[in-house]
Amino acid sequence: MPQPGTLNLTLNVWRQKNAGSPGRFVTYAARGISTEMSFLEMLDVVNEELILKGEEPIAFDHDCREGICGMCGVVVNGIPHGPRKGTTACQLHMRSFKDGDTLTLEPWRAGPFPVLKDLIVDRSAFDRIIAAGGFISAPAGSAPDGNAIPVPKADAELAMDAAACIGCGACVAACPNASAMLFVAAKASHLGLLPQGQAERKRRALRMDEQMDREGFGTCTNHGECEASCPKEIRLEFIARLNRDYLRASLTRRPEAASGGTG
C-alpha cells in the first residue's frame, strides 16, 4: 500500500530514439508519486530513477509549466493533455488519477508532427503557417496613444478568447483527420476581429489555409474532437469564422501584386 497522499502507477511510455528509428512501448513503475505533483513532475521523478539506474530518461517537451507556452503535450490514455478538461499536461495534477492506475503515454500522432524523440514531436509546421499569414504588417514608428483606435467590447473579448490559443497542437492530435483548423482559426480570428487586422484579413485566410494544406494537415469534417481536447477551450465557432473569411477571399481573389498585397 502506498503512503497516504501518494500513488503507485504503471506507465506504458512510447520510447523512440530519433525520427528515423521505430518506436515501442516500455513499461515503468512510478512509485510513491505525491498527489500534489504535476504530471510533468511525476515524469521528472521517473526520469531521476532512470538516470540513477544508468538508463536514458524519457524525453518530453516543456517550458513554462504554467499552461502558457504551449510546449508540453502528451497523449495520456488516448486523450491529448490527459483527462482533465481545459488543462495542459503541465497543469494536470496527479490527484486526477487513482492508485494502481495504468497510464499509456504517447506523443502527438499526426503526419505533419513527426516524432523527434520519445514524447517530443516537431511542431515547426505551425511556425510556417504563422509565417505564411498569421501577423499584421504595421508601419513602425512611435507607439500610438492608448485607446486611439476604438474596439467594440464584444469584439475585443472575442479576440481575446481566440488569442488564448497557445499553439500546443492538441487539436491536431485529437482530430481523426489531423486537421489544424482550430489552431489556424484561432490565430486568424484574433487578428481578424480587430481593426488593425483588417487590411490583411483576406490574404491571411488564404495564405494560412493554403500553408496548412501544404504541410499535410487534413480537412475539418466537424468531429469536434479538437474543441473537446483544447486546453484553452477554443471554440468551433472560430472555424466557422475562418471558413467565411476564406470563402469571401476566394471569391474576390486577385493576384497579390495587382491588389496591392491585401488579397
Binding residues for ligand FES restricted to 134-193, rule: CB under 6 A: 166
**What residue 65 binds from ligand FES, ligand SF4, none (CB within 5 to 8 A, per partner kind)?**
ligand FES
Per partner kind, with CB cut-offs from 5 to 8 A, the member of ligand SF4, ligand FES, none near residue 67 is ligand FES
Pick between residue 165 and residue 194 the one whose CB is nearest to ligand FES: 165
- Residue 68 interface partner, choices ligand FES, ligand SF4, none, CB cut-off 5-8 Å depending on type: ligand FES
Which residues form the interface with ligand SF4 (CB under 6 A)? 165-171, 182-183, 186, 230-232, 234
Task: Report what 182 binds from ligand FES, ligand SF4, none; CB cut-off 5-8 Å by kind.
Answer: ligand SF4
Tell me the CA distances in angstroms from 46 to 7, 50, 111, 132, 238, one per residue in order.
13, 6, 29, 40, 39
Task: Decide which of ligand SF4, ligand FES, none touches 165; Cβ closer than 5 to 8 Å per partner kind.
Answer: ligand SF4
Please give the full DSSP string across 145-205, using - where no structure is assigned. Answer: PTTSS---HHHHHHHHHHHT-----HHHHH-TT-B-HHHHHHHHHHHHTSGGGSTTHHHHH
Binders of ligand FES among 64-93, rule CB under 6 A?
64-65, 67-72, 88, 90
- What is the 8-class DSSP label of residue 138? P
CB of 227 to ligand SF4, least distance (A): 8
How far is the C-alpha of 118 from the C-alpha of 51, rounded, in Å? 16
- Told to check if 121 binds ligand FES by CB under 6 A, we report no
Minimum CB separation of residue 108 from ligand FES in Å reads 13
C-alpha span between 124 and 128 (Å, rounded): 6
Q: Tell the smallest beta-carbon distance from residue 85 to ligand SF4 (Å).
A: 12
Based on CB atoms, which residue is closest to ligand FES, 61 or 161? 61
- What would the grid cell of residue 122 be? 516537431
- Interaction of residue 62 with ligand FES, rule CB under 6 A: yes
Query: 163: which 3 cell numbers?
Result: 488569442
Biggest CA-to-CA distance, the chain: 73
Closer residue to ligand SF4 in complex, CB, 134/231: 231
Phi, psi of 8 (to 5 degrees): -110, 125
What Cα–Cα distance (Å) separates residue 73 from each residue in 43, 102, 257? Answer: 13, 19, 40
Dihedral Cα 242, 132, 135, 168, nearest 10 deg: 70
Q: Say if CB 44 and CB 72 are below 8 A apart.
A: no
When binding is defined by CB under 6 A, the residue of 63, 99, 155, 157 that contacts ligand FES is 63
Footprint on this chain of ligand FES (rule: CB under 6 A): 62-65, 67-72, 88, 90, 166
